[in-house]
């Protein structure tokens, strides 16, 4: 089964461009994987896979982070050459199962409503999970930027969507 990112499933995202960082995709992935494994986040799994944007979309490599309990949520981390630069970022997606999606659409008019109706503890776990992943990825990005002698002081570290991760 192909892994797909669809625009209507994206709840939150973050990105940055590393000037003259092309060729460092593997380093960003391995550093992020190492830091996440060392963080020992409960119920979290990592895998790399090709992801596309639709049935006939071309694929790109992502680091996919899933949670055993928060099964409707997945984080997709990417690093890719963009000319001489390295485009780095992540997406947080909400993808409810077919049944939950259908009932949610019928009852609330939004296919994600039931997935986003989390109890306090699940909200706490989702916030902690996304925060740690964001900070871990940001650490890998900042380390590369410092090595390339780039100024990190003006880098935007906030995400833009549902959770507004800091």
φ, ψ at 113 (rounded to 5°)? -55, -50
Q: What is the pLDDT of residue 15?
A: 93
Residue 55 is classified by DSSP as T
Question: Residue 17 sits in a domain of what CATH number?
Answer: 3.30.310
Q: What is the pLDDT of residue 166?
A: 43
Query: Is residue 164 included in any domain, yes or no?
Result: no
Q: Show the domain range for 70.
A: 3-147
Query: Is residue 103 included in any domain, yes or no?
Result: yes
Query: Is residue 166 included in any domain, yes or no?
Result: no
Q: How many domains does the chain have?
A: 1
Q: What are the residue ranges of helices labelled H in the chain?
A: 25-39, 98-108, 113-116, 120-147
Distance CA 37, CA 140 (A): 13
Q: Tally Cβ neighbours within 10 Å of residue 105.
A: 15
User: What separation in angstroms does the CA of 24 have from each of 30, 88, 152?
Assistant: 10, 10, 17
Distance CA 131, CA 164 (A): 10
Query: Is residue 158 included in any domain, yes or no?
Result: no
Q: Tally Cβ neighbours within 10 Å of residue 113.
A: 16
Query: Is residue 63 included in any domain, yes or no?
Result: yes
Query: Is residue 161 included in any domain, yes or no?
Result: no
What is the full per-residue pLDDT of the chain (166 aa) written as tens digits? 468 888 878 889 999 999 999 999 999 999 999 999 999 999 999 999 999 887 777 789 999 999 998 988 999 999 999 999 999 999 999 885 554 554 545 555 565 554 456 788 888 898 899 999 999 999 999 999 999 998 887 777 766 655 555 4
Query: Is residue 165 included in any domain, yes or no?
Result: no
Q: What is the pLDDT of residue 114?
A: 46
Distance CA 143, CA 120 (A): 34
Query: Is residue 38 included in any domain, yes or no?
Result: yes
Enumerate residues 6+ apart whose C-beta is below 8 A from 68.
42, 43, 44, 45
- Token pair 């909400």 is found at 94
């Amino acid at each position: 089964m192909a892994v797909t990112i669809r625009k209507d499933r994206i709840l939150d995202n973050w990105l940055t461009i590393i000037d003259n960082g092309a060729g460092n995709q593997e380093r960003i992935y391995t550093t992020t994987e190492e830091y996440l494994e060392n963080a020992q986040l409960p119920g979290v799994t990592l895998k790399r896979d090709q992801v596309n944007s639709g049935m006939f979309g071309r694929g790109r490599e992502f680091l996919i982070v899933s949670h055993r309990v928060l099964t409707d949520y997945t984080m997709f981390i990417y690093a890719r050459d963009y000319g001489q630069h390295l485009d780095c970022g992540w997406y947080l997606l909400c993808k409810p199962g077919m049944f939950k999606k259908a009932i949610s659409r019928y009852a609330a008019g939004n296919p994600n409503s039931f997935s986003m109706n989390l109890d306090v503890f699940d909200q706490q776990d989702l916030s902690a999970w996304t925060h740690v992943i964001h900070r871990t990825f940001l650490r890998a990005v900042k380390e590369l930027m410092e090595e390339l002698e780039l100024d990190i002081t003006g880098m935007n570290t906030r995400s833009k969507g549902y959770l507004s991760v800091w």
